[in-house]
């Protein structure tokens, strides 16, 4: 966030945290997952990405940090285009928290895992230690720093996974299904941590109440295109829109 | 530093041996084992010397003899064949307790037994005083191949995850009445192992993606900047030097 030198000449206005233009992608087996997605997220926005299974949400996420290369269209993060040359800086700017913390946490101890990202991006010594301390403090896991991720509860693992990404000081935080497999208390605790962050956020989720609680704006993706983009409350109150795209509020919920 | 990774071969403590940097201990153990292997098999006194040296380290490291002994049972399957050598060996024979045994066979058996046991005891001493995590750190500092260190680190983390997954699959199987008693009923178990392999493979891919997303470049960053001093090297290599002295003695007297 500190180095904006790479941003293009448009110095008068701040470049959006995320700009996706006409993104299309088909998998090698021919399945067309994205058919021209355009999405712009300004700095500091919290946006929920909703959509049924198979809508292309995960494919879109994997484009944001260059794991998949677009067939057509462009992605840029904080003004820096996602290209092969910029890959390392892009991966620092885009912090993805994956769905299963066991996939994300692979080092023997919590503190080492949190240090893994920033160390890869060239942070060393006292600054690295400070980053680790700050990230663990933000998610309230400082006292577990020397434990193995294996011995943590689901909610704790999720918060450590968040810390591993926060330690990289990303431009945009991307959360893939952050509330799955969490008990209600862990779910609320995670929401409190997320609401306390001063970060741009894109949250991929099926948990519509969670989207409403955390994200003022929502985008619905279906069959590889953006079909709706607006205030979360308005989208979720539109029962017809939700029904068309295989989304529904949990039993007993009503928004009007 | 590796509080979460107690393994059955490790005995936590705060002795001078525990506090030595892992790479020093690895080098010392390796030198010790090489010396043992290079010692002529007839230098019986020298082998006693090695044992005394190890016993000295156990006292220093506060490892009880019984604790070491129980864990050295691991050697048994490997030395079982040794029992056969004196009976099947060629050459001149000697009578022991009314049995006619081959002399080269006896020497061969002793050679394998003594060297194998000392090797196992040395490894147990290293494992008993060094947590797994630190062993990996030591290998990394000794510039062991990067890929090996990475694989070992990932194994250390995921072996429990995979074991838990296997356990859940087993419980799900027996909950549906699966009770294999004969080999031909083990099909479901075998398919379970296949499924576990595929799942682990897929998890491997997801872990790799997550690592790439945090800037993985192919090498694990060195996360501890504790420096090993020349003094620590000197202290740690004293037993290795003693072992070297014993080996040379062995060659001189043999």
For residue B206, what is the nearest residue in chain A, using CA coordinates?
A103
Confidence grade of residue A6 (pLDDT, cut at 50, 70, 90): very low
Calculate how close chain B gets to A93, using CA atoms only, in Å. Answer: 10
Residue A227's SS3 state is strand
With respect to residue A1, please indicate whether it lies within any of the assigned structural domains: no
Instruction: Tell me how many degrees the CA angle A210-A177-A122 measures, rounded to the nearest 5.
Output: 120
With respect to residue A89, please indicate whether it lies within any of the assigned structural domains: yes
With respect to residue A110, please indicate whether it lies within any of the assigned structural domains: yes
pLDDT digits (tens, 9 = 90+) for B28-60: 999 999 999 999 988 889 999 999 999 999 999
Contact list in B for residue A107 (CB cut-off 8 A) is 153, 157
Confidence grade of residue B3 (pLDDT, cut at 50, 70, 90): very low
Whole-number Å distance between alpha carbons of B119 and B39: 13
Contact list in A for residue B4 (CB cut-off 8 A) is 108-109, 146-148, 150-151
How large is the ipTM? Answer: 0.78
With respect to residue A4, please indicate whether it lies within any of the assigned structural domains: no
Please tell me which of the candidates A103, A117, A165 has its beta carbon nearest to residue B206.
Answer: A103
Q: Does any CB of chain A come closer than 8 Å to the CB of residue B211?
A: yes
Domain spans of chain B? 16-139+227-253
Q: Which residues pair with A41 in a beta bridge?
A: A18
- End-to-end CA distance of chain B: give it in Å, rounded: 46
Instruction: Give the count of domains, chain A.
Output: 1
Of chain A, the percentage scoring pLDDT greater than 70 comes to 95
Whole-number Å distance between alpha carbons of A184 and B174: 31
Domain assignment of residue A65, given as a range? 18-244
Calculate how close chain A gets to B23, using CA atoms only, in Å. Answer: 18
Alpha helices (H) in chain A, listed in sequence order: 57-64, 87-93, 101-104, 110-120, 125-138, 154-166, 184-196, 208-214, 232-237, 239-244
Q: Which residues of B65-104 are buried (b: 16+ CB within 10 A; e: fewer)?
A: eeebeebeeebeeeeeebeebbeebeeebeeeeeeebbee
With respect to residue A2, please indicate whether it lies within any of the assigned structural domains: no
Q: How many residues does chain A have?
A: 256
pLDDT digits (tens, 9 = 90+) for B188-230: 788 888 888 998 999 999 999 999 999 888 877 776 667 788 8
0.80 cut: is pTM over it? Answer: no
Residue listed under structure tokens 């020497």: B107
CB A98 within 8 A of CB A176: yes
From chain A, which residues contact B within 8 Å (Cβ)? 62, 65, 67, 88, 91-92, 94-96, 98, 100, 102-109, 112, 115-117, 119-121, 124-125, 128, 146-151, 164-165, 168
Beta strands A172-176 and A32-41, pairing class: unpaired
Please tell me which of the candidates B161, B210, B221 has its beta carbon nearest to residue A104.
Answer: B210
Long-range contacts of A83-92 (CB under 8 A, 24+ apart): A86/A6, A88/A121, A88/B215, A88/B217, A89/A6, A90/A65, A90/A66, A91/A65, A91/A66, A91/B212, A91/B213, A91/B214, A91/B215, A92/A117, A92/A121, A92/A168, A92/A169, A92/A170, A92/B215
Sequence-distant (6+) residues with CB within 8 A of B195 are B169
For residue B222, what is the nearest residue in chain A, using CA coordinates?
A119
pLDDT score of A80 more than 90: yes
A48 is written with which tokens? 């929920």
Q: What is the CATH number of the domain that holds A126?
A: 3.40.50.300
Average pLDDT, chain B: 86
Contact list in B for residue A158 (CB cut-off 8 A) is none
Cβ within 8 Å, pair A88-B212 = no
Please tell me which of the candidates A67, A124, A148 has its beta carbon nearest to residue B213.
Answer: A67
Contact list in A for residue B207 (CB cut-off 8 A) is 103-104, 106
Q: Which residue has the higher pLDDT, A204 or B94?
A: A204
Sequence-distant (6+) residues with CB within 8 A of A162 are A97, A139, A175, A178, A190, A193, A194
Q: Does any CB of chain A come closer than 8 Å to the CB of residue B107?
A: no
Q: Is residue A22 within a helix (H) or strand (E), and if so which, with residue range?
A: strand A18-26
């Amino acid at each position: 966030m500190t180095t904006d030198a790479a941003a293009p000449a448009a110095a008068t206005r701040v470049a959006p945290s995320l700009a996706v233009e006409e993104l299309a992608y088909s998998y090698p087996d021919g399945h067309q997952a994205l058919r021209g997605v355009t999405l712009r997220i300004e700095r500091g926005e919290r946006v929920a990405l909703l959509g049924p299974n198979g809508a292309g949400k995960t494919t879109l996420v994997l484009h944001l940090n260059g794991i998949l290369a677009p067939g057509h269209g462009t992605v840029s993060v904080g003004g820096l285009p996602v290209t092969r040359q910029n890959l390392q800086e892009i991966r620092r700017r885009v912090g993805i928290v994956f769905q299963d913390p066991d996939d994300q946490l692979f080092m023997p101890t919590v503190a080492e895992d949190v240090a893994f990202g920033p160390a890869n991006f060239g942070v060393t010594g006292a600054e690295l230690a400070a980053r680790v301390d700050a990230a663990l403090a933000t998610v309230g896991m400082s006292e577990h720093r020397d434990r193995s991720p294996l011995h943590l509860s689901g909610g704790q693992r999720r918060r450590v996974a968040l810390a591993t990404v926060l330690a990289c000081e990303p431009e945009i935080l991307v959360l893939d299904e952050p509330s799955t497999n969490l008990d209600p208390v862990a779910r609320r605790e995670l929401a409190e941590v997320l609401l306390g962050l001063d970060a741009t956020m894109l949250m991929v989720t099926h948990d519509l109440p969670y989207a409403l609680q955390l994200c003022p704006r929502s985008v619905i993706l279906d069959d590889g295109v953006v079909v709706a983009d607006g205030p979360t409350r308005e989208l979720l109150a539109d029962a017809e829109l939700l029904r068309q795209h295989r989304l529904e509020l949990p039993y007993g919920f009503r928004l009007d | 530093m590796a509080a979460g990774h107690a393994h059955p071969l490790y005995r936590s403590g705060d002795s001078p041996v525990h506090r030595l940097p892992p790479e020093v201990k690895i080098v010392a153990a390796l030198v010790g084992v090489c010396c043992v292997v290079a010692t002529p098999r007839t230098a019986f006194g020298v082998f006693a010397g090695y044992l005394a040296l190890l016993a000295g380290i156990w006292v220093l490291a506060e490892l009880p003899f019984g604790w070491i002994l129980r864990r050295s049972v691991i050697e048994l399957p490997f030395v079982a064949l040794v029992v056969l050598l004196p009976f099947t060996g060629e050459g001149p024979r000697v009578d022991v307790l009314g049995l006619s045994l081959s002399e080269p066979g006896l020497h061969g058996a002793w050679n394998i037994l003594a060297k194998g046991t000392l090797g196992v005891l040395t490894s147990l001493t290293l494992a008993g005083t060094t947590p797994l995590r630190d062993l990996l750190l030591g290998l990394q500092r000794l510039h062991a191949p990067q890929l090996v260190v990475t694989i070992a680190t990932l194994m250390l983390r995921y072996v429990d995850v995979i074991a838990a997954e296997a356990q859940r699959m087993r419980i799900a199987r027996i909950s549906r009445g699966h009770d294999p008693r004969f080999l031909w009923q083990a099909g479901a178990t075998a398919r379970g192992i296949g499924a576990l392999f595929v799942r682990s493979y897929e998890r491997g891919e997801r872990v790799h993606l997550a690592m790439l997303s945090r800037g993985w470049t192919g090498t694990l960053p060195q996360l501890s900047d504790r420096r090993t001093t020349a003094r620590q090297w000197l202290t740690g290599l004293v037993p290795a030097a003693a072992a070297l002295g014993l080996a040379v003695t062995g060659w001189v007297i043999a």
